[in-house]
Amino acid sequence: MHRLFKRLCCSASALTAAAACMFSASAAEGRLYNQFDPYWDTVMMYSITGTKSSMYVSACGIFSFCNAIYGLNSTEIDAVEFGTWAAANGSYRPGNGGTRATELYPKVEADWGERAHFKMLGFYDGGIRSARLMNHLKSGGVAVIHVYNHFMAVTGYDEENDLYHVIESACSTARGLEGDSWVTAEKLSDGRTNADWYALLQNTKEPEYSQVVTDRLHCAGKEAEFRLISDIKGSFALGIDDADGNRLETLYSRRGAVSCEQTVQSEMTAPGVYSCYASSCNDFGLIDSERVTFEVYDSAPEYAEITAAEGAMQAGEPVLLQVKGDTAESFVVEVRDAANRKVFRDQQTGELGEWFGDTAESAWTPEKPGDYTAHVVMYNDCGYKYSKSIKLHIDGEVQVTLDENTSAGLLSKNAEQSVSVPYAGTYGELPDASCVGAHFDGWFTEAKAGEQVTAETAVAQAESHTLYAHWTPYPAGDININMEQDIRDAILLSRLITEDPELETDENMLFCADINGDGIIAADDLTALLQALGG
């Protein structure tokens, strides 16, 4: 069966107290079928005249009946099966007028009443203010109404606000109604939504489940709300017991004409652990829900804890943080870096309770490696509690730029380099640098002075950073590049000037041989060197 906007209901036996908080709206608040779901354009029906039309085009009478029964007692009728049945007996003629309501409704109870749990009370000319229609809705029945060239279901009446709950299977701009909504009598008495005919359907099904939904934590002295849910419209009773099973209070709700879901409130004054259950009843039967346990508190949380999953943590990968607390209705997780800057904040409604043994989770994905701290703050209506901070060490690669740091007169032979090093590991072997006219002394943390970084130096910075090459210029005339001047340099310079073919040279030798800096290696350079050597 193909449906759109279906909202699920579950039996009491299938729902635990923990799952109750996730329960969605009941049948009376949602439509079973949307005629304008594109699927229905593929479902073709043949009339007795042999013409055909899809259920997308011509089936509002079929869908309105199915939606009405669903709103009455949660029974799901297969629209294709029902449409085929109606077409066979002549009450539905696709392409030739659609549903013939005055032919369909006299026949429908005989074939569908028992299986869909309803009685047909009759169909009448009249508007939405008809006393018969209003009294029927007040008693918990539903109706199918006819407006201009269209059928819709009415599945509830809120007498206090004078509103009708309408399930519209085919929303259109002309009618201006949503799929399911509360509508005024004025809207249903004017234009294309003016009701001029109605059919009345009454439930014959006993309730098959009952459920109570409430917060697991309530503050003493404030109103606690309890949602009562059933598969049919009817009356509810809510029993509240203390931890020893003694009955403290019984609350009732009899707004059965409005909805399968009703709400009651109670002011819980004393802290402690309580339980409650709902009884759903109508003229055909009664069923109790499963019991739900909740806690009432009168003080701020006294316990807050945060832990991280064991094992290595890597930048770019989620870190799972687990939090626990007592009587906390919400919590905030914060992570700060080594400079105490906030890098992550996660606020959640947790309803944590030490008695309930809850653990909630928060996932943080660190962008960078580093050392961080994390803590959680537990909140309720009475105050808050900070946890102790925990340390988080995040591994990852740190990008290091290697700056040649060459000054005037030094000509670098390398392009700028960068390497990745492991945070909190060691730098490892870094590439050497070289330039003409100076000795490479190593990599340092500052362009001038600073500390030397070797292969064994620990990577203490989590941020990307720069290391700088330090240089010692070769002395002018240091032809053999040993960082000093002596007679051997004079001999080599003499061989350079005479262009000894057996002498091997390099850029540094030639750079140091040009003692006077005129760009020419000649006798005057040798004279300057000899003078420097004292002879």
pLDDT (tens digit per residue) in 311-354: 889 999 999 999 999 999 999 999 999 999 999 999 999 899 88
For the cut 50, the answer to whether the pLDDT of residue 368 exceeds it is yes
Separation CA 330–CA 293 (nearest Å) = 19
Question: Does the predicted model carry a pTM greater than 0.75?
Answer: no
Domain shared by 466 and 494, yes or no: no
Q: In this predicted model, which residue has the larger pLDDT, 484 or 271?
A: 271
Domain shared by 54 and 170, yes or no: yes
Q: Is residue 14 part of a domain?
A: no
Domain shared by 64 and 112, yes or no: yes
Domain shared by 174 and 196, yes or no: yes
Run of H or E residues at 124: strand 118-125
Q: Is residue 90 part of a domain?
A: yes
Domain shared by 43 and 117, yes or no: yes
Q: Is residue 6 part of a domain?
A: no
Q: Is residue 26 part of a domain?
A: no
CA atoms within 13 A on the CB side of 337: 12
pLDDT tens digits along 27-38? 445 799 999 999
Domain shared by 377 and 526, yes or no: no
pLDDT value for 7: 23
**Mean pLDDT, residues 149-174 taken together:** 94
Q: Are 55 and 46 in contact (CB under 8 A)?
A: no
For the cut 80, the answer to whether the pLDDT of residue 209 exceeds it is yes
pLDDT value for 414: 60
Of 353, 377, 393, the last residue of a domain is 393
CATH number, domain containing residue 453: 2.60.40.4270
Query: CB-based contacts of 213: which residues, under 8 Å, 6+ apart?
Result: 20, 21, 23, 226, 227, 229, 292
pLDDT value for 14: 29
Q: Is residue 12 part of a domain?
A: no
Separation CA 49–CA 261 (nearest Å) = 45
For the cut 70, the answer to whether the pLDDT of residue 21 exceeds it is no
Q: In this predicted model, which residue has the larger pLDDT, 272 or 24?
A: 272
Domain shared by 183 and 37, yes or no: yes
For the cut 70, the answer to whether the pLDDT of residue 512 exceeds it is yes
Q: Is residue 89 part of a domain?
A: yes
What are 364's two structure tokens?
């943080």
CA atoms within 13 A on the CB side of 187: 14
Q: Is residue 8 part of a domain?
A: no
Of 443, 470, 497, the last residue of a domain is 470
Domain shared by 52 and 167, yes or no: yes
Q: Are 440 and 432 in contact (CB under 8 A)?
A: yes
**Mean pLDDT, residues 60-69 taken together:** 97
Q: How many structural domains comprise the chain?
A: 5
Domain shared by 415 and 387, yes or no: no
Domain shared by 137 and 75, yes or no: yes
pLDDT tens digits along 211-234? 999 999 999 999 999 999 999 888
Domain shared by 121 and 179, yes or no: yes
Q: Tell which residue, 140, 289, 282, has the closest CA to residue 228.
A: 289
- Which stretch of 70-84, 131-145, 397-411, 510-524 has the lowest confidence by average pLDDT? 397-411
**Mean pLDDT, residues 416-438 taken together:** 90
pLDDT tens digits along 281-293? 998 999 999 999 9
Separation CA 510–CA 478 (nearest Å) = 10
What is the dihedral sign for C-alpha 361, 367, 370, 376?
A: negative
**Mean pLDDT, residues 40-69 taken together:** 89
Domain boundaries, position 438: 397-470
pLDDT band at 171 (very low <50, low <70, confident <90, very high): very high
For the cut 90, the answer to whether the pLDDT of residue 260 exceeds it is no
CATH number, domain containing residue 54: 3.90.70.10
Run of H or E residues at 293: strand 292-297
Q: Are 108 and 120 in contact (CB under 8 A)?
A: yes
pLDDT value for 415: 58
For the cut 90, the answer to whether the pLDDT of residue 103 exceeds it is yes
pLDDT value for 48: 67
Q: Are 328 and 304 in contact (CB under 8 A)?
A: yes
Of 297, 325, 354, the last residue of a domain is 297
Domain shared by 158 and 278, yes or no: no
pLDDT value for 18: 30
What are 462's two structure tokens?
């989590």
For the cut 60, the answer to whether the pLDDT of residue 5 exceeds it is no
For the cut 80, the answer to whether the pLDDT of residue 10 exceeds it is no
**Mean pLDDT, residues 525-532 taken together:** 87
What percentage of the chain has pLDDT greater than the value 70?
92
CATH number, domain containing residue 367: 2.60.40.1930
For the cut 90, the answer to whether the pLDDT of residue 451 exceeds it is yes
Q: Is residue 482 part of a domain?
A: no
pLDDT band at 49 (very low <50, low <70, confident <90, very high): low
pLDDT value for 131: 96
pLDDT band at 22 (very low <50, low <70, confident <90, very high): very low
